[in-house]
Chains A and B, each alone.
Chain A
């Protein structure tokens, strides 16, 4: 079956137009990062190492494959100033970290990207499930994480206030690695207790971000108390993570949510936030993610050749590219795999479904920790 014959898939014209916009955006971003007036030291030095000028060589998205694959190790340690574009000099800077349970975490600087990404996402949330002006609960990681501030911004963007909990995911990873499962349970309970306190305090919380594990714990705790997610006032949830499988999605809808709405998302500090095409009983709760193009692009590439896309429906490794004036990340191989999805009406570019930890790496990764 071709993409065009599927209901809700993108028209050839929409696909062509999106591709043109992407190519133009690529040229703009490359010009920005490799110009001495606006670029950052890291990429200006890299251009010298490469021995060619990306501004004259890169004309389209495909041309980005002339760069070597982006290595996330480049993000470890300081000075962070090497990542600061000269064109944004003087603006307040945030630093967001990933990992860091042991050793030096990877860092990404941010000026406004987290706000921009989450504003775009927020504008696409359905009002009937995420009422404007309602307050939010951020039941997820705190600390030096982009997600924490991004959700708060999302709530503010929709006219609400965000209530947060304290949750240190690095401690959670340590507990798992040490096998201290009782401590892990106690810590999870500690997090859920904080959430229950917020929900019981008459704060008009109707929307929530959380992770699959915490949603499950919250729903079960509420059920134990004779209540439910819905009865606690929650109307809309967005959630994410590689544990967000179709089966879990169905289980949550059938047994945890009590009619509350939930939409899956996929993202990280380096890329931003990919939204999901509608999923439910009509498509066996299949989850397909679409990156916020042209600011970020996801591809599904061959395990053997990261420059070769797999066919639609075929399995490969997820490759991310970030294209903003704050951060340029061409061709980063994510620690996940999935199936390539055809362009969708609302998102006329490639998507990815069935996202799960990359099988060859998953043995050494602790996933879904909070």
Chain B
């Protein structure tokens, strides 16, 4: 069994406290991982300047090339891990075994991370809106005949990472090429991606002293957020609320992503059923980019029946099955609690569980160490019930019938809104809505992310500040 140390600016640190990460189904230990303490972070943050200094010695264009090489190594290579090594296939098996995600999903998420690393030049071009990367390197430069200057707001970015979706790592991959160091606090069940990406970066020539990985208790996450001038955290609605308005922290949580079909398109709803099913079901329904509600002015019940017929047939399959689309809840108590919350949500009049008839034994399948929740689709004949704003970590959505003129007022915060309409007034209103982050105009599944677009705030804007700079030549 592999033993994984803490990485303190690239140097392995073997903690006296270690934890077994276990297989979700068997309880067998998969790896032993060091657990740190908050003080380690508070001390190490003082050396963050050295991370940036090491990265600044390498031209950004070289870092971009090294990132691409890291992507290749991450996807296909055999990379060091703790006191052993790990092939790509071993990585997939390990990740699946501790997170409950089917292996095909693990591979799909690897592809996402690989894509971002391979396409780093284009991604940075898009995120910087075409800024010559030399400007970031030098700190200032000239664009369209004007002096511009960008100042890094932190020598290193802190990240409190989740266990539920390895695709979120795409968000921080551009940080190293931007010459900013990383302090990663992995999710307790998913240390695999942070360690493998770190190993890939180092093998590809990124200085080890640019990256720290701090597995351990939640107090370490708090210490990261407290000490890093810029950090990202992934969490629930409470986390988002806690850090709202804090310029040092970018909080990522539930997406409450939605599909809206307007009056001018609703009579053709059957054309969009594939898109709706994909938006709800892709990646096991675990992502913030999955659709948690569908807003329609009419035909709600018929739409819900059509989606339910497709979702209702889906059953849990073994993690190695290439068709497996549902992830296990590694804590069965959470699945049970979620199922109970859905039962409560069904009490208001006008709310129906459209998938119920496909689940004669209920939506919850409990095993000794894990559980599954079967894809669940509700229908609500009005936007009033609370369930219209629910999001859970499995394929779950509600078709909400709502007059078109009320939709924007009722929908609430929305990470991704796919608006199927050609109505120019509605499109303008949607474009103006500050409750919507990413907007898809036209029939685009919510999970189909274009990586050349900023996601929940632009990481470049978060790490670099455009400021005045006057130079005597």
Contact = CB atoms under 8 A, between A and B. Distances in A.
B458 interface: no
A251 B42 contact: no
A71 interface: no
Contact of B17 (A179, A185, A245, A256): A245
A247 B43 contact: no
A232 interface: no
**Chain A facing B: main interface SS:** helix
Contact of A246 (B16, B39, B40, B226): B16
Contact of A185 (B16, B39, B226): B226
B35 to A, nearest CB: 7
Contact of A255 (B16, B43, B226): B43
A250 interface: yes
Given A179-B242, A245-B17, A246-B16, A251 B226 contact: no
A255 B39 contact: yes
A358 B99 CA distance: 26
Contact of B222 (A181, A247, A248, A285): A181
Given A181-B226, A247-B16, A251-B37, A220 B242 contact: no
Contact of A284 (B16, B226, B242): B16
Interface string B12-48: 0001110000000000000000011111101100000
A216 interface: yes
A247 B14 CA distance: 10
B39 A248 contact: yes
Contact of A251 (B40, B222, B242): B40
A210 B26 CA distance: 43
Interface in B204-232: 222, 225-226
A217 to B, nearest CB: 8
B35 A220 contact: no
Interface string B229-242: 00000000000001
B16 A250 contact: yes
Interface string A160-188: 00000000000000000001010001000
Candidate in A220, A251, A252 with the most chain B CB atoms within 10 angstroms: A251
Given A179-B242, A255-B43, A284-B16, A247 B37 contact: yes
B242 A247 contact: no
A179 B17 CA distance: 28
Contacts of A250: 16
Given A181-B222, A185-B226, A248-B37, A220 B43 contact: yes
Contacts of B38: 216
Interface string A233-275: 0000000000001111011100110000000000000000000
Contacts of A216: 38-39, 42
B61 to A, nearest CB: 37
Interface in A173-226: 179, 181, 185, 216, 220
Nearest to A180: B242
**Chain B facing A: main interface SS:** helix
A256 B42 CA distance: 11
Contacts of A252: 39
Contacts of A255: 39-40, 43
A357 B189 CA distance: 22
Contacts of B15: 247
A250 B39 CA distance: 11
Contacts of B36: 247
B317 to A, nearest CB: 33
A176 to B, nearest CB: 10
Given A181-B222, A181-B226, A247 B42 contact: no
A256 B36 CA distance: 15
Interface in A128-186: 179, 181, 185
A247 B226 contact: no
B34 to A, nearest CB: 9
A246 B35 CA distance: 12
Nearest to B238: A179
A357 to B, nearest CB: 12
Contacts of A247: 15-17, 35-37
A179 B242 CA distance: 7
A285 B15 CA distance: 11
B169 to A, nearest CB: 26
Candidate in B17, B37, B226, B242 with the most chain A CB atoms within 10 angstroms: B37
Contacts of B17: 245-247
A259 B463 CA distance: 39
A188 to B, nearest CB: 10
A245 B222 CA distance: 19
A246 B37 CA distance: 11
A195 to B, nearest CB: 17
A248 B17 CA distance: 9
Given A181-B222, A247-B35, A285 B43 contact: no
A246 B17 CA distance: 8
Nearest to A285: B16
Contact of B39 (A179, A251, A285): A251
Nearest to A255: B43
A231 B357 CA distance: 73
A181 B15 CA distance: 27
A60 B253 CA distance: 59
B445 to A, nearest CB: 36
A216 B42 CA distance: 9
A133 B16 CA distance: 37
Contacts of A256: 39
Nearest to A246: B16
Contacts of B42: 216, 220
A256 B40 CA distance: 10
A10 B39 CA distance: 36
Contacts of A185: 226
A317 B15 CA distance: 25
Nearest to B241: A179
Interface in B135-188: none
A172 B116 CA distance: 43
Contacts of A284: 16
A256 B43 CA distance: 9
Given A179-B242, A185-B226, A285-B16, A245 B37 contact: yes
Contacts of B39: 216, 220, 248, 251-252, 255-256
A248 B223 CA distance: 15
A349 B37 CA distance: 32
Contacts of B226: 181, 185
Given A181-B226, A255-B39, 6 more contacts: A220-B39, A247-B35, A248-B37, A250-B16, A251-B40, A285-B16
30 contacts: A179-B242, A181-B222, A181-B225, A181-B226, A185-B226, A216-B38, A216-B39, A216-B42, A220-B39, A220-B42, A245-B16, A245-B17, A245-B37, A246-B16, A246-B17, A247-B15, A247-B16, A247-B17, A247-B36, A247-B37, A248-B37, A248-B39, A251-B37, A251-B39, A251-B40, A252-B39, A255-B40, A255-B43, A284-B16, A285-B16
Interface of A: 179, 181, 185, 216, 220, 245-248, 250-252, 255-256, 284-285
Q: Top 6 nearest A-B pairs by Cβ distance?
A: A247-B17, A247-B16, A216-B39, A246-B16, A248-B37, A247-B15
